[in-house]
Amino acid sequence: MGKFWAMIVLGAMVVLGAWGVQAGRADELRKAAANRERRIIFNNDGDDAWLTGAPATPNGFLSVRMDHVGDCSVDCIFYCTTQGINIFTHDSELTEVFRATSGSFQNNRMDALIQHGTDPLKLVIEACRKRGIEIIWTIRMNDIHDNWTPELFSQWKKDHPQCLMGTPADLKQYPESDPRNVYSFADFAYPEVRDLTVLIVEDVLNRYDVDGIDMDFLRHVCYFKETRLHEPVTPEHLDMLTDMVARVRAAVLAASKKKGKPILLSARGLPTLELNRRFGFDVEQWGKNEYVDFIAVGGGYAPFTMPARDMIRRGHEWGIPVYLCLSGSGMIQRGVKHSDLSGGNTEAWRGAAANAWRAGADGLMTFNLFPKFPGSDATRDARSAWAEMNDPAALVGKDKLYCVENLDHARTFGYMMRAVPWAECLPITVAKGEAVRRNLPVADNIPVLADQINALRLRICLAGLRADDQLTVSINGHPVTATPEKPLWLVADIPAQAMKQGANTLTVRYRAGTADALTIQSVELKVDYNQSKGA
């Protein structure tokens, strides 16, 4: 054998030997990859493929969001290319490519990027590799933005109307408060839908160098017809989705073996085991059977009060990390004037993050928090929030805003499917002569930190409030003096010793007044520390 061929054979033996060692340690390597540090997961919904204001070039695409993720604690990116069932903003001959340029999509860069020999997913992977950031492709399992945006309606759905839960007539027949208004859901009771989902994942695994696959079951949370009637799915339906997840897991493991590296599988679900099962997600089986390597919890609509402790505990019992989702959608008190919870408030992100860390989360996922071009307020706000939230110890002693969320939209919009636990949030009506209570979670140990606190101010918004109405307010049984500040708002300075770390019971009693009842629309607690003044 010549020297050249001897070297080739030797090299092959080294590669095969290394793979044999790695294959023998596959479980160990996978566990290590699953349990790597993920302080902040940036969930990028992928509309940077068609957002306006950037050139239709690779650099133009990257300037929208991906140029702004370094050096701000983001160590994992979930990148979504899903525009609807079978239609994506990554290039594929198997699935449909989203090429629409009409209406709000007039700046869609897909064709131009493909002509450059690339696409958004390839560019995001390259950007993550450059920065040492984990990159996971996320598939929205049943996205229905196409219900209101015709450009997103895939040819597959047009060719398979029998696999949809309704017809376009449902838009006129049912109001927005009725889940049946959303007709374009794919019905996962049809094997064609589940088979297509597995095929789509396999295609991405075969053609893209991702570190993992994420199944986003919260976009959107309806998989069987019972859900459109506010009924729990059947045990058979639970088994259908579990079987599909198992098939996706098998595809991920096969790709891991083929590529010689651990590729992970995650899922985003609801904050309680009961809710997950009601909607078809047998997360307990997924965890116990090792179908998923980690999970993300919640849609982020209730970032301050989300009841996720049980799912965190269960995930840890199953041996998998659990991440809590905080969303910009939950950082706004809709319809509430003069609220401090108004979008780009870093103090609010700190408060929500502090509560999530205290609940035992292994890390945080941000949703609907996006940079948008260099030097913009959106970029500044996103980078600031990511950098501030990454370490629970570093959050101690920093100004925060804690809230009880107004989730009226979760109750009144049908597409939410009653999937958000809103019963203990706001709004809530307090009748004259009666009292109501709400839990205000606060991660800070305020009594211990009292000497560092400059101000501790509670604000309560009440619809219908008049200047001569008589109300009493207490926190954990300690009466506080609440006075009018702005129209519809009461304000009270809270003594530090009245607070507890964790759950705090707020009681509001409507003693006398003109109206028969008032409605509490917002509860906000501002914690102002001395040491952060001027920072």
Cβ neighbours around 249 below 10 Å, total: 19
| Cβ atoms 84, 150 nearer than 8 A | no
pLDDT by residue, tens only, the chain of 535 residues: 444 333 433 343 344 344 444 555 889 999 999 999 999 999 999 999 998 889 999 999 999 999 999 999 999 999 999 999 999 999 999 999 999 999 999 999 999 999 999 999 999 999 999 999 999 999 999 999 999 999 999 999 999 999 999 999 999 999 999 999 999 999 999 999 999 999 999 999 999 999 999 999 999 999 999 999 999 999 999 999 999 999 999 999 999 999 999 999 999 999 999 999 999 999 999 999 999 999 999 999 999 999 999 999 999 999 999 999 999 999 999 889 999 998 789 999 999 999 999 999 999 999 999 999 999 999 999 999 999 999 999 999 999 999 999 999 888 888 899 999 888 999 999 999 999 999 999 999 999 999 999 999 999 999 999 989 999 999 999 999 999 988 899 999 999 999 999 999 999 999 999 999 999 999 999 999 997 543 4
Q: Could you give the CA distance from residue 310 to residue 5 in angstroms, rounded to a whole number? A: 60
| Cβ atoms 102, 150 nearer than 8 A | no
Which stretches within 304-376 are classed as H helix?
Answer: 309-317, 346-358
* Opening angle at CA 530, ends 525 and 533, nearest 5: 95
Q: Which of 317, 213, 311 minimizes the C-alpha distance to 255?
A: 213
- Taking only Cα atoms into account, the Rg of the chain, rounded to an integer number of angstroms, comes to 25
Which stretches within 208-282 are classed as H helix?
Answer: 235-259, 273-279
Which stretches within 293-422 are classed as H helix?
Answer: 309-317, 346-358, 377-389, 392-395, 408-412
Q: What phi and psi values does residue 357 have, to the nearest 5 degrees? A: -60, -40
3-state secondary structure of 274: helix
Q: What is the CATH number of domain 36-297?
A: 3.20.20
DSSP conformational letter for 152: G
Q: What phi and psi values does residue 474 have, to the nearest 5 degrees? A: -140, 155
* Opening angle at CA 311, ends 366 and 394, nearest 5: 45
Q: Which of 138, 66, 153, 44 minimizes the C-alpha distance to 103?
A: 153
| Cβ atoms 505, 477 nearer than 8 A | yes
Chain length of the chain? 535
DSSP conformational letter for 441: -
Q: Give strand ranges (E) for 308-464.
A: 322-327, 363-367, 400-404, 428-431, 435-439, 453-463
Pick the CATH number of 428-532 from 2.60.120.260, 2.60.40.3080, 3.40.50.1360, 3.40.50.2000: 2.60.120.260
3-state secondary structure of 332: strand
Which helix (DSSP H) or strand (DSSP E) does residue 295 occupy? strand 294-297
| Cβ atoms 312, 297 nearer than 8 A | yes
- Encoding tokens for residue 33? 């990859």
Q: Which residue has the tokens 């979760």?
A: 410
Residue ranges of the chain that CATH labels 2.60.120.260: 428-532
Q: Which of 434, 468, 479, 462 minimizes the C-alpha distance to 519?
A: 462
Q: Could you give the CA distance from residue 154 to residue 313 in angstroms, rounded to a whole number? A: 39
| Cβ atoms 436, 430 nearer than 8 A | yes
Q: Write the CA distances from 449 to 317, 453, 492, 528, integer angstroms.
A: 33, 7, 19, 11
Helix, strand, coil percentages in the chain from 3-state DSSP, rounded to 5: 40, 25, 40
Q: Which residue has the tokens 């340029």?
A: 101
Residue ranges of the chain that CATH labels 3.20.20: 36-297
